[in-house]
């Protein structure tokens, strides 16, 4: 493992973030998912401890006649990010929230906006 990497205990609790019914104003929008603690912004680097993951929504070249799922759902394992920030799942605040930011996935293109119908955190214990 590289410097700064914290190994998760596979036998311990896992924290999963479900992001449902994602809507993007541009079909080629990239998005970053972070825990909302701290001063996270769209410019926060992915090396930030709050970083959970990222996703893209593509139109597959179909433009306005896209055949992709218009409001996809995403699942992220947020365990490592929570452990980096709080030390363990048990120490995270009960009101922990997650945010998504639209980011450009091509130079010179406006990233538009991204929103979700819901963002849910589920902790699974063995």
Token code pair at residue 39: 């001063």
Number of H helices, E strands in the chain: 1, 6
Domains held by the chain: number: 1
Does 98 map to a domain? yes
Domain that holds residue 41: 25-124
What helix, strand, coil percent values describe the chain, rounded to 5?
Answer: 10, 35, 50
Q: Taking the model in full, what pTM does it have?
A: 0.78
4-58 pLDDT, tens digit per residue, is 444 555 678 999 999 999 888 876 677 888 887 667 888 888 899 999 999 887 7
Average pLDDT taken over every residue of the chain: 81
Contact 22, 119 (CB under 8 A): no
Q: Which residues pair with 35 in a beta bridge?
A: 98
- The SS3 of residue 82 is helix
d(CA 24, CA 5): 32
Does 4 map to a domain? no
d(CA 73, CA 119): 10
């Amino acid at each position: 493992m590289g410097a700064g990497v914290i190994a998760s205990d596979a036998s311990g609790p896992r924290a999963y973030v479900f992001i449902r019914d994602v809507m993007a104003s541009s079909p080629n929008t990239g998005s970053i998912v972070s825990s909302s603690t701290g001063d996270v912004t769209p410019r926060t680097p992915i090396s930030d401890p709050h970083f959970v993951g990222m996703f893209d929504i593509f139109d597959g070249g179909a433009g306005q006649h896209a055949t992709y799922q218009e409001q996809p759902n995403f699942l992220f394992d947020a365990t490592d990010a929570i452990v980096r920030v709080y030390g363990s799942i048990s120490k995270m605040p009960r009101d922990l929230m997650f945010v998504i930011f639209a980011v450009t996935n091509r130079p010179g293109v406006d990233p538009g906006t991204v929103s979700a119908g819901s963002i849910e955190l589920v902790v699974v214990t063995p």
